[in-house]
Amino acid sequence: MIPNDDAADFKPRYSNDQILNAPTVPWFDEITRTGLMHQHNVSINGGTEKTKYMASINYLNHSGVVKNNDMEHFTAKNKSGPADFQVRKGRIVFQY
């Protein structure tokens, strides 16, 4: 709290004209952008009465509406016979 004696000596840093004519920053435009998403899928499958196979590769790239909020995802899957494997972000997962 400002004592009454100091209030009389107060000199504002900016004038009313400086405050009213201050440059503005479009903050919404500074932190957002048009979002973009694209996804690509390739798969094959087939087989005979005794064996079947299926393989797929998926890629997803999503640029969110908030800047620096991106996601990139890659998966691959192979299914043939009794064993399956999947690739997720560089890891291979085997299933029996």
Q: Per residue in 64-85, pLDDT tens?
A: 999 999 999 888 888 876 655 6
Q: Tokens 């107060």, residue?
A: 10
8 Å CB contact between 59 and 71: no
pLDDT tens per residue, range 8-65 = 788 889 999 999 999 999 999 999 999 999 999 999 998 888 778 889 999 999 999 9
Please state the pTM of the whole predicted model: 0.56
3-state SS, the chain, equals: CCCHHHHCCCCCCCCHHHHHCCCCCCHHHHHECCCEEEEEEEEEEEECCCCEEEEEEEEEEEECCECCCEEEEEEEEEEECCEEEEEECCEEEEEC
Predicted confidence band of residue 1 (pLDDT cuts 50, 70, 90): low
